[in-house]
Every structure is written in structure tokens, then in C-alpha cells.
A and B are shown apart, each in its own frame.
Chain A
Amino acid sequence: MTRLSPAELARLLGDGWDAPPAADAVAPRPSRAPAAAPTEAAVWVALAEVPDPEVPAISVVDLGIVRGVAVAEDGAVTVTITPTYSGCPAMREIERDVRAALVQRGWADVRIDTVYAPAWTTEWMSDAAREKLRAYGIAPPRVGGAALVTLRRAPRAEQTMPVEPVPVPCPRCGSTDTRLQSAFGSTACKAMHACVACGEPFEEFKPI
């Protein structure tokens, strides 16, 4: 489940391959010399500017996957991250983006640890992050939503579609007259819905 970046593809495929602009690369910044020694607060500020590669409307800090920042006396930075869904293929990209953001500020000694406990949950997403998602067109995860994935089956007459006990409001028009199309979408963390009121399909950040 590894993806190659355009630069890595270009290296593998040779000069004849025309790499597209690297949309996922961290935008170049004016160099800030001399680099100030890192502090934990400064590292958090830097990380708050690293977008999630799959949902760029929110940062990795908004998402709640940065679990800790530590700065050693010699300036070595350790960032602890945790995956969203178990198989999130963006984790390696997130690692790379986090490292790039810190190196760019002149902090070269960066270590990234991945931890599994405690397990990430959408409950850790801030209200501000939820609002950013909504404004971006993705229905935010419902609070307490993981418990809504009911294992109890609905009466057979209602089983033409998967059962969603609490409807997901449409991020575009706000209607709750929406239908779950599939609990699995374009990324591990999203489900696909359609709004009956405004007719638009939309994605939901699935509660977990």
C-alpha cells in the first residue's frame, strides 16, 4: 500500500518521464536564517501548518494524530504520531511532510515515532476542525458516532439500503434527508452519502 511520489516515479522511470507538478510537496518558503533553536511550542506551530494529504482542509494537528512533541537539549525533535484508520496509506506521506516542515525551519534532527495506543478516534477532532471539514464539503464525523454503527439489523422491508440510524446532515444544504451510499469511500476514513434535498453526493469523515 505504498505510493510513489512524482519525484520518486521520475527517478525510477528516468528522464523521459514528465513529472507532474508535485501538488503534495510542501510549498517552498523563504528561508529563515539563522534558524532559531526549536521549542516544543514552535514545533507545534510548524505542525499546525502541515495539511493532511488526503483532506488538505485540515492540518495533522487538527486531525488529532500528532500525539506528542519532544525537544531534546541538543535540539533533536521527536514527533509522535498515530494512524487514523489502521491501513491509512497516507501515514508515510504524513511522516515525510512533517519531517519536511521541520527541516525547512532549520531543525534537521527529526525523529518520528508511530504509536498504536491509545487508539485514535474521531472524538479527538476539534470543533474547529469539524467546521473546516464541513466548509470543505465533507460531513464531519458525528460526535459519539462510532457507537452508531449498529450491528442490529433493520426489518427486512427497510433493507434496500444500508441502515444509518442517525442521518448524516448534508454539508452543503444542511438537510438531514440523506442516504448512505456506501460505508467505504475514496479513502479509508470516508463514507459516501447522497443528499435527497439538494441532490448532491457528499463524503463523510467516518466516525471511529
Chain B
Amino acid sequence: MTDVAMLHAPAEAVLRLADDRLVLGHRLSEWCGHAPILEEDIALGNIALDLLGQAQGLLKLAGALEGRGRDEDALAYWRGAGEFRNVLLVELPRGDFAHTMVRQFLFDAYDVLATERLAASPHADLAGIMAKAHKEARYHVRHSGDWVVRLGDGTDESHARAQSALDALWPYAAELFAADAVDAAAIDTGVGIDPRALREEWQAAVAAVLADATLAPPSALPPDDDGGTGRIGRHTEHLAAMLAEMQSVARAHPGAGW
């Protein structure tokens, strides 16, 4: 972390919150018209919309904190993959429905805790966005948790798919709880929380649902300091491909209004 980057710690911290939601929201939106049943298509679209709306408010705020004149559209459409600050978990391809739901549940269970604490931020705008996000996250985690149980405790096929998704995604969850100098500086300025403090409560909540779902996590989580590299802009190859699609219209028609 360079000194220059530390100057922007509050903007960086808000960008992390925003990018998790922007990228996961986009991944969920890929299900539009493809979900297994109509109600689920609608639900996934709604959850994606909540996440995108949260991202919009957070990106606007990050742009204001950064002070370089970038608005939410500039940040969403005109940054390359290396400038995104989301965790790797949310950028992975959506996979099958079980993969999408297990990923969503692991994130939602974290999100409901993170947003609750951020809603108490002394920064009024951030607190307002997070207070609403927390209420939305409660609907999200109930939905994804119900699906994890249905799939895990369902047919042999759905159980196998859910377990396979959990095995693949579990190591990525550690990054949600990794903390660095940006988090420390953000806490000092009132726009951050220490993600490590959420981990125990998250593990307990997730373990309860997984037990209901007859699913077993493959291992304890890797240590905090081995959590992934998304927060510093080093991503899997999947993010750039996703952004190429997400940003294509804005980049083909720079400055277009609609």
C-alpha cells in the first residue's frame, strides 16, 4: 500500500463495498430469462437490482470521497479489471443454479452482518445506504439460505451439486474477512469496519444452515492473511471477461444518455 493510495483510503473502502455489489449484481442478472422457474427468475432479478442500486449509491459516494470528478457511471463503466476492488468470490462465473445459490448465501450471510455495522457509521450518507442495504440483505439471506437447504437436503443430484459448489467456493469466502491498512484507515475516518470481527458470527450462521442442508464445509477457512487478492485489484481471468460485456454499451457510445 503506497502513501498515495492511503490518502484515498476512505474512497478505497467504499469502492470495495460498491464493487462487491456491482459485480455480484451483474453475475445474478445473467440469470434473467434462464432461472429454473419464473418466480426464481423474478427473485434473482430483484436481488440483482437491490445490489446494483446499493452499488450506484456507494459508487457515487466513492467518487465524491475520491474528489477526482468521477461519478458512479465513470466508476462502473470506465475502470479496467485491475481497478476493481471486489472479492474474488463474487466475480467467479455463475456456474449452475446450486453454484449461484451457495455463492449468494456465503455472501449474503456476510452482507447482513457487514451492512448492520456500517449502518451505524458516523458518515450519514454511508449509514443511510447501508441501513437500507441491511434490510434488503435480510430478505436476500433468507432466500438464499432457504435454497441452500432445499438443494442440499433435496435429491441426490441437487445435494451433489450443492456440495460441489460449496467445495469450490468455500476457500474464496476467507477474503470477505481479510483486513489491511485501508480497512484500518477507513475505520479511523468512520467509513469502515474491521471485517475480521464478523467472521465468528458468520461461521456460526453459515454452519447452522449447512447442517440443515446436510452439507459439510470442506475445511476450516484459510487464515485471514491468505484471503485473496481482489481488494488490491488482482483478479481472476473471469472479471475482465465479465466487464467486457458489462461495459460494452457504455464504451461503444461514450457520453450517451438514456
Contact = CB atoms under 8 A, between A and B. Distances in A.
Interface string B46-68: 11111111101100000000000
A1 to B, nearest CB: 6
B50 A117 contact: no
A115 B39 CA distance: 32
Given A149-B142, A192-B39, A1 B49 contact: yes
Contact of A151 (B50, B57, B128, B142): B142
A183 B129 CA distance: 21
Nearest to B61: A116
B43 A117 contact: no
A181 interface: yes
Interface of A is mostly: loop
Interface stretch (A22-30, A48-56, A81-89, A130-138): A81-89
B251 interface: no
A159 to B, nearest CB: 6
Interface in A112-141: 115-121
A17 B138 CA distance: 43
Contact of A162 (B52, B138, B142, B153): B142
Nearest to B38: A182
Interface residues of A, number: 36
Interface of B is mostly: helix
A87 B145 contact: no
Given A85-B132, A206-B139, A153 B212 contact: yes
Contacts of B136: 85-86, 208
Interface residues of B, number: 42
B194 interface: no
Given A1-B52, A156-B212, A186-B42, A116 B129 contact: yes
B125 interface: yes
A128 B212 CA distance: 43
Contact of B53 (A85, A162, A208): A85
15 contacts: A85-B53, A85-B132, A85-B136, A86-B54, A86-B56, A86-B57, A117-B127, A117-B128, A119-B129, A149-B135, A149-B139, A156-B153, A163-B142, A183-B142, A206-B139
Interface of B: 39, 42-43, 45-54, 56-57, 112, 119, 124-125, 127-129, 131-133, 135-136, 138-139, 141-143, 145-146, 149-150, 153, 205, 208-209, 212, 258
Interface of A: 1-2, 4, 8, 83, 85-89, 115-121, 146, 149-151, 153, 156, 159, 162-163, 181-186, 188, 192, 206, 208
